[in-house]
Amino acid sequence: MTNKRNQIKGFCRNVDEKKERLKKAFGYILKDKGFGNLGVNKVSLEAGISKNLIYRYFGDFKTLIEQYSEGIDYWTSQAEKRDYSEMTEKDVLKNLLGEQFNYLILNPEMRQLVLWGLHESNYNTTSLLKKRELFAERLILQKADKRFDGRIDYRGVVSVLMAAVYHLAAYSSVQKANFCGIDLSQDKGRKRVLDAINLILDNIYDLNEDKKKATNDNE
Amino acid sequence: MTNKRNQIKGFCRNVDEKKERLKKAFGYILKDKGFGNLGVNKVSLEAGISKNLIYRYFGDFKTLIEQYSEGIDYWTSQAEKRDYSEMTEKDVLKNLLGEQFNYLILNPEMRQLVLWGLHESNYNTTSLLKKRELFAERLILQKADKRFDGRIDYRGVVSVLMAAVYHLAAYSSVQKANFCGIDLSQDKGRKRVLDAINLILDNIYDLNEDKKKATNDNE
């Protein structure tokens, strides 16, 4: 009985280890060669695990990609697990944008997932984007809709700030050339980006309050 | 004499045509397969022109890439040729951001050049970025430095807006999924992005005027 149990446990642990090894191999190729060089054969070869086992463990290759992506994406792997309940939605947004910027700089694999989503629409890139959307809706956007109440297109502004974070984090990790004269390869330059984002956000919230006051005064 | 002239003319035209055909082949591969699939052999095969002639006409492969890129990049091929002398620097910036957004949506080759620059630093990506920088300095940034005079980090704000344009144009061309709940595949959603950018810019200019006035009042 004990023996049988151990065998099953041993077998299970082995499967989990192999699944982890396959995901790591996927991540290694993503980081090293970029999103354009992924394929089930390459992952199998890199992991030293037969292709058949990928299908047995994950069902199909896209499920491996999906599980890997959720484990590495800032939204699904980091932000989803945080407790934002004590923060205002403005502070949550500032926090998300700043942390995602720093996370992307440290994480070439997630940067590749972002670039992949700008290169093509496929099951994986679209599925990940939809998960981020759901999370952003729940955490910030729907609350902010009520606060801004049609006075300002808050979602338009947030889309600009969010997009800038993706682009500038990648730029600052890859290029030494300046961007608008700012050296983004240095902490000082990166801080200027985050300060500008916070300035824009503070401004938009202030403008909303001014508009709200003006409407109330007129009533 | 006439004969010889015609021969030379004929030969010259032929070289120009072949150079154009090589650049077109490069653009075709860039658009069809992405920046990760470029190589001198593929371009030679696509154009039906021997590799040796690429080296004879362009000196090296990177010069072909450079010439192609300058011909397709919004900044070097469009903005450089416009006359902005009658516009304020705020309107020039709004115009540049809006036109570049629309240009990127219509131009998958330039989008690939942008993604390439976020994927790796190499001779071509860096050289193109430096040209954009020089142009932006001359056209807007140095004038704006004087206007903002250290009160607001204008360059930080512009870097955010510029980066957002690159990211959102690519997203809206490739993905059907929403971004912050906005359907960027539709004109209506795209207009919201440009309106948000203009709102942010107007706000920053207003804030600068307020700060300037406050300083003057205190003096």
Contacting residues for A20 by C-beta, under 8 A, at least 6 apart: none
N-term to C-term CA, chain A: 80
B177 → closest Cβ in A130, A156, A197? A130
Strands (E), B156-212: none
Tell me the domain boundaries of chain B.
Answer: 2-65, 74-218
Confidence label for A6 from pLDDT (cuts 50, 70 and 90): very low
**Interatomic CA distance for residues A164 and A172, integer angstroms:** 12
B160 → closest Cβ in A119, A200, A207? A200
**Interatomic CA distance for residues A179 and A185, integer angstroms:** 10
Judged by CB atoms closer than 8 Å, whether chains meet at B200 and A200 is answered as: yes
Tokens found for residue A179: 């961007």
**Interatomic CA distance for residues A161 and A178, integer angstroms:** 19
B141 → closest Cβ in A170, A181, A193? A181
Q: Kindly report the CATH number that applies to the domain delimited by A2-65.
A: 1.10.10.60
Q: Which of A120, A125, A159 to mutate to test the interface with B (most CBs of B within 10 A)?
A: A159
For chain A, the average pLDDT equals 92
Q: Within 13 Å, how many C-alpha atoms sit on residue B96's CB side?
A: 29
Judged by CB atoms closer than 8 Å, whether chains meet at A181 and B133 is answered as: yes
Q: Are B167 and A117 in contact (CB under 8 A)?
A: no
For chain B, the average pLDDT equals 92
HEC string of B64-128 equals: HHHHHHHHHCHHHHCHHHCCCCCCCHHHHHHHHHHHHHHHHHHCHHHHHHHHHHHHCCCHHHHHH
Between chain A and chain B, the number of residue pairs with CB atoms below 8 A apart is: 186
Looking at beta carbons, which pairs linking B185-192 to residues 24 or more positions away fall under 8 Å?
B190/B101, B190/B105, B192/A153, B192/A155, B192/A156, B192/A159
ipTM (interface predicted TM): 0.92
- The pLDDT assigned to A11 comes to 54
Q: Within 13 Å, how many C-alpha atoms sit on residue B66's CB side?
A: 13
Tokens 């430095």 appear where? B145
- The pLDDT assigned to A219 comes to 76
Question: Across residues B38-60, what is the average pLDDT?
Answer: 95
Tokens 């939605």 appear where? A89
Q: Is the pLDDT of residue B162 over 80?
A: yes
HEC string of A92-144 equals: HHHHHHHHHHHHHHHCHHHHHHHHHHHHCCCHHHHHHHHHHHHHHHHHHHHHH
- The pLDDT assigned to A12 comes to 52
Confidence label for A37 from pLDDT (cuts 50, 70 and 90): confident
Q: Are A155 and B159 in contact (CB under 8 A)?
A: no
- The pLDDT assigned to B28 comes to 96
- The pLDDT assigned to A123 comes to 86
Judged by CB atoms closer than 8 Å, whether chains meet at B167 and A171 is answered as: no
Which residues pair with residue A179 across a beta bridge? Answer: A182
pLDDT digits (tens, 9 = 90+) for B81-90: 899 999 999 9
Percent of chain B with pLDDT over 70: 94
pLDDT digits (tens, 9 = 90+) for A157-181: 999 999 999 999 999 999 999 999 9
Judged by CB atoms closer than 8 Å, whether chains meet at B118 and A119 is answered as: no
Judged by CB atoms closer than 8 Å, whether chains meet at A133 and B174 is answered as: no
Q: Is the pLDDT of residue B8 over 80?
A: no
In angstroms, what separates the C-alpha of A35 from chain B's closest C-alpha? 9
Judged by CB atoms closer than 8 Å, whether chains meet at A204 and B204 is answered as: no
Question: Across residues B118-125, what is the average pLDDT?
Answer: 91
Within 8 A of B177 by CB-CB distance, chain A residues are: 121, 126, 129-130, 133
A168 → closest Cβ in B36, B125, B159? B159
